[in-house]
């Protein structure tokens, strides 16, 4: 059954990337009126580069987790089989 989940996962990854880019542009637009700086920009301050990178990472991680969880729940509803571990491994 896990092999049947691969197309769900691939489509979900593409959707998460597009949604993450859009959401980051919305969030960054609320924080600053300029484009988000990259580490390669000479005139960008350390603080602004690190904040932009941190916000981008948080947005993308959150969107990826939400889309992955949603696609797994959809797969469960369609097939009756959960494509993954049922519980975290105990330490």
pLDDT digits (tens, 9 = 90+) for 4-46: 889 888 999 999 999 999 999 999 999 999 999 999 999 999 9
pLDDT at 86: 81
State pTM to two decimals.
Answer: 0.83
> Considering the domain boundaries, does residue 46 fall inside one?
yes
> Considering the domain boundaries, does residue 55 fall inside one?
yes
> Considering the domain boundaries, does residue 14 fall inside one?
yes
- Count Cβ atoms below 10 Å from residue 36 Cβ, excluding itself: 20
Could you write out the DSSP letters of every residue in the chain? -HHHHHHHHHHHHHHHHHHHHHHHHHHHHHH-SSPPP-TT-TTS-HHHHHHHHHHHHHHHHHHHHHHHHHHHHHHHHHHS--SS-SSPPP-
| 8 Å CB contact between 18 and 60 | no
Domain that holds residue 43: 9-79
> Considering the domain boundaries, does residue 39 fall inside one?
yes
> Considering the domain boundaries, does residue 1 fall inside one?
no
> Considering the domain boundaries, does residue 64 fall inside one?
yes
> Considering the domain boundaries, does residue 3 fall inside one?
no
Looking at the structure of the chain, the number of domains it has is 1
| 8 Å CB contact between 24 and 56 | yes
> Considering the domain boundaries, does residue 62 fall inside one?
yes
């Amino acid at each position: 059954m896990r092999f049947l989940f691969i197309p769900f996962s691939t489509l979900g990854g593409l959707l998460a990337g597009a949604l993450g880019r859009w959401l980051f542009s919305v969030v960054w637009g609320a924080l600053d009126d300029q484009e988000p700086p990259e580490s390669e920009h000479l005139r960008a301050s350390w603080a602004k580069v690190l904040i932009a990178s941190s916000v981008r990472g948080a947005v993308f991680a959150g969107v990826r987790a939400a889309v992955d969880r949603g696609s797994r729940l959809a797969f469960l509803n369609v097939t009756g089989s959960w494509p993954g571990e049922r519980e975290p491994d105990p330490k």
